């Protein structure tokens, strides 16, 4: 992760330390999904489930928690506009 601040949807700026502190409070599934996104992103929910070996439902829960904390954002895939892809905000 970079040490420079990252812009988040609600225009809040997080430093690397703040990002890690927020992540620390989340469940292990959210930490694993964040780690997968750190190495390879953007990824769809299905790709995240494949890479993390977590069930789709657990990945969805983890993504919701990460989004609630402003640590993950999403956009529509350029390859398939029916799918969303996820990436870390910092």
CA pair distance 62, 76, nearest whole angstrom: 19
Reported pTM: 0.80
Q: pLDDT 10s digit of each residue in the chain, 90 long? A: 333 334 334 446 778 898 899 999 999 999 999 999 999 889 999 999 999 999 999 999 999 999 999 999 999 999 888 899 999 987
CA pair distance 8, 62, nearest whole angstrom: 18
The answer for 74, left when phi > 0, alpha when psi is -120 to 50, beta otherwise, is: beta
Give the 3-state secondary structure of residue 79. coil
The pLDDT assigned to 5 comes to 36
The domains of the chain, with CATH numbers, are: 6-88 (1.10.10.10)
């Amino acid at each position: 992760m970079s040490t420079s601040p990252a812009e988040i949807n609600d225009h809040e700026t997080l430093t690397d330390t703040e990002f890690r502190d927020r992540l620390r409070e989340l469940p292990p599934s959210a930490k694993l999904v964040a780690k997968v996104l750190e190495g390879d992103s953007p990824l769809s929910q299905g790709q995240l489930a494949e890479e993390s070996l977590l069930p789709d439902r657990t990945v969805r829960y983890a993504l919701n928690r990460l989004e609630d904390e402003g640590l993950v954002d999403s956009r529509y895939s350029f390859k398939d506009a029916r799918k969303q892809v996820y990436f870390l905000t910092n």
